[in-house]
Amino acid sequence: MAEVVSTRINVRSGPGTNYRVVSSASSGARLPIVGQSQDGGWYQVTVDGLADPGWVSGSITKLQGTLGGVPKVDAPAAPEPIVTTASAPAAPVGAPAAAPNTGTGFGYGVTVNTWQGDKQGAADLIKRLGFNWAKQQVRWEYAEPSPGAINWQEMDGIVDVMSGNGINLMFSVVTSPPWSRPTLGGTGGPPEDFQLYANFVGAIAGRYCGRLQAIEVWNEQNLRREWEGFPLEPSSYMDLLKRSYNAIKGACPAMLVISGATTPAGYSDVAFDDIDYLRGMYQNGLRGYSDGIGIHPSGFANPPSVRFEDWQSGNYDALSHVNHRSFYFLSTLEQSRRVMEENGDSAKKLWPTEFGWGSTPSPFPGYEYEARIGEGTQAQWIVQAFTTMRDSGYVAVPMLWNLNYPRDTEMGAFAIAGRPAFDALRQMMGR
């Protein structure tokens, strides 16, 4: 039995992201496993409503029981290729609707889980910390399930509570409703018409102008799973960002537009190196269409005080996740800043919209390193990271991942509520 642990997972016609999405499963769904791929990385599962079994990635599911007796199944001989020719309308994007705002000072932020959750409880925790920023992920697919029918209830509630408690708020807007991807299927990539997303974030900016401080335009667009159906090319994302920037600034010139955060990944068939991707964003106009540069400086099992070069020189050793630049928080932070400077954008600041360290004795597959990080170490490293970013002079508002996701989920290993990290951060803030 496989238990889906992501907010929503795609079910595909074969074992790979090059197969078409045929269904989806929500968090907590239990999908019986009837087969596995030859490499064991994908599970063949039965899904209500599907005549034939579908496939889910083992990396984003939690295995219940064992795979003993589950047969290995050959992949279909001719997988349907992912569509890579879909594009935004040919109409050119206009000049920036407003000059970027580079005056944001340093702030202390944390990602919250308040969509259909305890909004006031999260605000109370943030105030206890002494933090002044919160980030909430908004899934467009949930907020506008049919064209033009925006359900404002959850967003209204989040904005009302955070603004009412004096907490600055950023929405990170991701995923696409199925109606916006009629030929591509799934929700993991942008709409076939990029202007549809721009219209949505523009509507958000207009509704909450003065009470919502920032919008992050997409998330981890250098990963295939976050940019499904389109080439992993910076120029493609920049078309979305330019349209969104103009829509947001046209509705609320004071609202901050943060570029979608790239994530450390290196090169593979499902990822585009984050530093090279950021360079490509600048080559396609990033400087004029952003108020801040989003990045995700992940730490994995390495402390925030070490660099990739420390391992290369033999001055640092660890048990795992050491042999590539992307595994080091500080290396990602510094190299991202270097790209900004190379492109004459040093007046602007980095926005680490997701960073943190997970700690759990029972990690999900792919996160085994979390078992080597005790809660005391987690607390120490988070405080060190905040201090490093504050002292850098080139970071605006780091958003710690995360405050209050359920402890029994993949995200829960990073949650700080009720853990030593929470108390350590309060002490850091003089609370």
Segment 10-63, tens digit of pLDDT:
677 888 756 766 776 765 678 889 998 887 878 898 887 677 898 887 755 677
Give the whole-angstrom CA distance, residue 37 versus residue 41.
6
**The two three-digit tokens of residue 343, written as one number:** 């492109």
Model pLDDT for residues 289-337, shown as the tens digit of each residue? 999 999 999 999 999 999 999 999 999 988 788 999 999 999 999 999 9
| DSSP H helical ranges for 55-193 | 119-129, 140-143, 153-164
Neighbours of 122 (CB within 10 A): 24
Task: Please provide the DSSP assignment of 292-308 as one string.
Answer: EEEE----TTS-TT--H
Q: Is the pLDDT of residue 143 over 60?
A: yes
What's the pLDDT tens digit per position in 224-272?
Answer: 999 999 999 999 999 999 999 999 999 999 999 999 999 998 898 899 9
pLDDT (tens digit per residue) in 61-115: 677 788 888 899 988 875 544 344 444 445 678 898 889 998 899 999 999 999 9
Check residue 3 and give its pLDDT: 56
Taking only the tens place, the pLDDT of each residue in 391-400 is: 999 999 999 9
Backbone angles phi, psi at 383, to 5 degrees: -60, -45
Q: Which domains does the chain have, with CATH numbers?
A: 2-63 (2.30.30.40), 109-428 (3.20.20.80)
Structure confidence by residue, pLDDT tens digits, 180-209: 999 999 999 999 999 999 999 999 999 999
CB contact at 8 A, 207 and 170: no
| Rounded Cα–Cα distance for residues 407 and 416 (Å) | 10
- Average pLDDT of 376-381? 98
Per DSSP, helices labelled H in 256-369 are: 274-283, 308-312, 329-342
- How far CA 189 is from CA of 141, 180, 259, 385, 390, in Å, comes to 11, 10, 16, 31, 33
How far is residue 418 CA from its own chain's centroid?
23
